[in-house]
C-alpha cells in the first residue's frame, strides 16, 4: 500500500514539474488534473457526478470526496451512491440521519495499482495534447516572424531544425535557397511560413525563400525600419538570384536607401551573405507610377513611358535607346520580371528609334504566319516589333531564345518579306541590340 501511495505522490510531483517546464497556467493545470481523476473515477464507479475533486497544484496533491445518500442498515442497493446509517455514523458523522448526505474522503491509492496506472496514462495523454496545443498556438501567433533553428537532420526533400526549446521546424526543399548547403549543427535563420494542426499533430513549416524572410532580415539589420521611421512598401524576389525592394522614409532627414545600404554597404552586405550572395536593389518608393517604373527598371535609362491604367490589367509601354534594352530586360529577363512584380504593372519594352519606328510592325501581327510560342520567345528577348528582331544577330537569337537555326531563318524570311526587301539580311550585317 505504501508503494501505491508513493506512486500517486510521485505522479503529482512529476505533473508539477511539467507545469514549471512548459509554463502551463494554474487554471489549465487544475482543469487537466481534475479531468484525469474524474475520467478514472467514471470508469471505476460508472459515473463521477457524486464525486468532488479538489486539486492543489502548488502542493502537488489532490483530494477526492464521495457524496453518498444515508439509508437504513441492510437497505443499501448501490454502494457507489448509498451508505448504511451505522457505517456513516462510524465514519466521523455520528449525528447523521437516514435521507441525509454523507461525504467521505477517498484514498485514491487504495483503488489499486491498475487504477493508478490508468490515471497515469490518462494524465500523460492529456499532457501531450496540452503540449501540442501550446506549440501550435505559439507558432501560429508568430507566422511570418524570424526564428533560429539548429540543423538536426538533413534529408533529400527537407531539413529538420530544432529551436532553443527543442521544437521541430521543417524546412522543405522548395523553401530553401538553391545555393544553401546544410550540415548538422549549423544555426539557420528562417521565417515561420505555415503552421497547421492536422490530427492534433502540429507541423511548423519555415521558409528562406519567401518575401517575408527578406523583410524580416531588413527589419533586423536596419534599426530605422524596426522603429517605423522607414517602411518597406514593396518587395519582388527570385530567391538566390536577385531581389528589388522599395522603401519610403517618414522622416525627411533620413535617406531610406542610404539607411538600408549602410556605411560602405555594411548593413546590406550582412543580408546578402545570409541570402547566399543574392543581388539586392534598394530603390526609393514613389506613388507616381511612371517614376516608380523608371526606378524599378534601374540600371536602364528610360526615354519615355506610356501607361494604360486598366484596373484589371495595368500595363506600361517603356521606350529605351537600343543600348539600354538589354539592361532593362536583364539576364534571363530577370530585371524586367522583378520590376513588373514590384510596380504591379505588366511592362513591355520597346526600342526608341524615332522615324524608323513609324515603319515597323508589332510581332503579334505575325501570329498567322509564326507560331505563338516562337513570338513569345522573341518577346522574351525584348523584341516586340519586326525591326527589333531583324536588328539581332541570328546566332544571338538562337542562343538566348533557344530556337533552331531553321526556325530563326524562317522568322527572318517572314519579317523581311513584310518590308519588301529583295533578299534577307545576313546575320552578320544586322546590328546587335546590346
Q: pLDDT tens digits, residue range 210-232?
A: 999 999 999 999 999 999 999 99
54-63 tens-digit pLDDT: 887 666 677 8
In the block, cell 539586392 appears at 280
User: Do 108 and 197 fall into the same domain?
Assistant: no
Question: Which of 278, 189, 265 is closest to 235 using CA atoms?
Answer: 278
User: Do 41 and 167 fall into the same domain?
Assistant: no
Query: Residue 336 domain-assigned?
Result: no
User: Do 34 and 110 fall into the same domain?
Assistant: yes
Task: Indicate which CATH number applies to the domain containing 37.
Answer: 3.30.1480
First to last CA, the chain: 92
Question: Which of 272, 277, 209 is closest to 237 using CA atoms?
Answer: 209
What is the rounded distance in angstroms from the CA atom of residue 113 to the CA atom of residue 5? Answer: 10
CB 257, CB 233: distance < 8 Å:
no
In sequence order, what DSSP letters do the residues of 404-416 get, joined into one string?
-HHHHHHHHHHHH
* Residue 74 burial by Cβ neighbours in a 10 Å radius (0-12, 13-18, 19+): exposed
Domain count across the chain: 3
Query: Residue 316 domain-assigned?
Result: no
User: Do 373 and 418 fall into the same domain?
Assistant: yes
Given a cut of 80, whether residue 359 has pLDDT beyond it is no
Mapped onto helix, strand or coil, the DSSP state of residue 57 is coil
Helix, strand, coil % in the chain, rounded to nearest 5: 45, 25, 30
Query: Residue 342 domain-assigned?
Result: no
Q: How far from the centroid of its chain's Cα atoms is residue 55's Cα? A: 41
Bridge partners of residue 149, in order along the sequence: 188
The verdict on whether omega for the bond into residue 101 sits within 30 degrees of 0, i.e. cis, is no
Query: Residue 202 domain-assigned?
Result: yes
- Which range is least confidently modeled, 112-116, 297-301, 329-333? 112-116
What is the pLDDT at residue 23?
53
In which band, very low, low, confident or very high, does the pLDDT at 13 lie, cut at 50, 70 and 90?
Answer: low
Indicate the residue among 209, 231, 255 that finishes a domain.
Answer: 209
Indicate the residue among 103, 137, 171 that finishes a domain.
Answer: 137
What is the rounded distance in angstroms from the CA atom of residue 10 to the CA atom of residue 256? Answer: 60
Given a cut of 70, whether residue 238 has pLDDT beyond it is yes
What is the rounded distance in angstroms from the CA atom of residue 179 to the CA atom of residue 306? Answer: 39
* Residue 5 burial by Cβ neighbours in a 10 Å radius (0-12, 13-18, 19+): middle
Task: Indicate which CATH number applies to the domain containing 184.
Answer: 2.40.50.140
* Residue 199 burial by Cβ neighbours in a 10 Å radius (0-12, 13-18, 19+): exposed
Query: Residue 343 domain-assigned?
Result: no
Distances from the Cα of 17 to the Cα of 14, 83, 161, angstroms: 5, 38, 26
CB 334, CB 327: distance < 8 Å:
no
Indicate the residue among 137, 154, 182 that finishes a domain.
Answer: 137
User: Do 47 and 132 fall into the same domain?
Assistant: yes
Task: Indicate which CATH number applies to the domain containing 396.
Answer: 1.10.150
What is the rounded distance in angstroms from the CA atom of residue 80 to the CA atom of residue 149? Answer: 54
**Which cell numbers hold the place of 102?**
454523507
- In this prediction the pTM is 0.65
User: Do 188 and 121 fall into the same domain?
Assistant: no
User: Do 38 and 116 fall into the same domain?
Assistant: yes
The verdict on whether omega for the bond into residue 299 sits within 30 degrees of 0, i.e. cis, is yes
User: Do 87 and 166 fall into the same domain?
Assistant: no
User: Do 60 and 175 fall into the same domain?
Assistant: no
User: Do 111 and 17 fall into the same domain?
Assistant: yes
Query: Residue 177 domain-assigned?
Result: yes
CB 80, CB 104: distance < 8 Å:
no
User: Do 59 and 126 fall into the same domain?
Assistant: yes
In which band, very low, low, confident or very high, does the pLDDT at 21 lie, cut at 50, 70 and 90?
Answer: very low
Query: Residue 337 domain-assigned?
Result: no
User: Do 19 and 114 fall into the same domain?
Assistant: yes
Query: Residue 380 domain-assigned?
Result: yes
Q: Domain span at residue 407?
A: 355-429
What is the pLDDT at residue 20?
52
323-356 tens-digit pLDDT: 888 899 998 899 999 999 999 999 999 887 644 4
Amino acid at each position: 500500500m505504501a508503494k501505491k501511495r508513493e506512486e500517486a505522490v510521485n505522479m503529482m510531483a512529476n505533473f508539477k514539474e511539467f507545469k514549471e517546464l512548459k509554463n502551463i497556467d494554474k487554471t489549465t493545470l487544475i482543469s487537466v488534473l481534475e479531468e484525469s481523476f474524474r475520467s478514472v473515477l467514471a470508469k471505476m464507479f460508472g459515473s463521477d457526478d457524486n464525486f468532488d475533486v479538489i486539486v492543489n497544484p502548488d502542493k502537488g496533491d489532490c483530494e477526492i470526496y464521495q457524496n453518498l445518500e444515508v439509508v437504513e442498515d441492510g437497505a443499501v442497493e448501490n454502494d457507489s451512491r448509498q451508505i448504511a446509517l451505522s457505517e456513516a455514523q462510524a465514519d466521523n458523522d455520528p449525528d447523521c440521519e437516514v435521507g441525509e448526505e454523507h461525504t467521505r474522503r477517498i484514498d485514491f491509492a487504495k483503488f489499486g495499482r491498475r487504477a493508478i496506472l490508468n490515471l497515469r496514462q490518462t494524465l500523460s495523454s492529456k499532457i501531450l495534447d496540452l503540449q501540442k496545443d501550446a506549440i501550435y498556438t505559439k507558432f501560429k501567433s508568430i507566422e511570418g516572424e524570424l526564428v533560429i533553428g539548429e540543423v538536426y537532420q538533413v534529408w533529400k526533400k527537407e531539413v529538420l531544425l530544432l529551436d532553443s526549446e527543442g521544437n521541430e521546424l521543417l524546412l522543405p526543399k522548395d523553401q530553401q535557397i538553391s545555393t544553401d548547403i546544410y550540415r548538422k549543427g549549423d544555426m539557420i535563420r528562417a521565417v515561420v511560413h505555415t503552421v497547421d494542426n492536422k490530427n492534433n499533430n502540429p507541423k511548423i513549416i519555415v521558409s528562406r525563400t519567401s518575401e517575408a524572410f527578406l523583410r524580416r532580415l531588413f527589419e533586423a539589420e536596419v534599426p530605422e525600419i524596426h522603429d517605423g521611421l522607414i517602411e518597406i512598401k514593396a518587395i519582388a524576389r527570385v530567391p538566390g538570384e536577385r531581389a528589388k525592394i522599395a522603401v519610403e522614409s517618414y522622416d525627411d532627414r533620413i535617406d531610406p536607401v542610404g539607411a538600408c545600404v549602410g556605411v560602405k554597404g555594411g548593413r546590406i552586405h550582412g543580408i546578402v551573405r545570409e541570402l547566399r550572395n543574392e543581388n539586392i536593389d534598394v530603390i526609393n518608393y514613389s506613388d507616381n507610377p511612371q517614376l516608380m517604373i523608371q526606378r524599378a527598371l534601374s540600371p536602364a535609362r528610360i526615354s519615355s513611358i506610356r501607361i494604360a491604367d486598366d484596373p484589371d490589367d495595368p500595363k506600361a509601354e517603356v521606350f529605351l535607346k537600343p543600348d539600354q534594352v538589354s539592361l532593362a530586360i536583364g539576364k534571363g529577363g530577370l530585371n524586367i520580371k522583378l520590376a513588373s512584380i514590384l510596380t504591379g504593372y505588366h511592362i513591355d519594352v520597346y526600342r526608341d528609334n524615332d522615324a524608323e519606328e513609324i515603319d515597323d510592325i508589332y510581332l503579334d501581327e505575325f501570329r498567322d504566319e509564326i507560331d505563338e510560342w516562337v513570338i513569345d520567345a522573341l518577346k522574351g528577348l525584348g523584341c516586340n516589333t519586326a525591326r527589333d528582331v531583324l536588328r539581332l544577330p541570328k546566332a544571338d537569337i538562337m542562343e538566348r531564345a533557344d530556337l533552331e537555326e531553321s526556325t530563326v531563318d524562317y522568322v527572318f524570311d517572314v519579317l523581311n518579306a513584310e518590308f519588301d526587301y529583295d533578299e534577307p539580311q545576313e546575320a552578320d550585317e544586322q546590328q546587335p541590340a546590346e
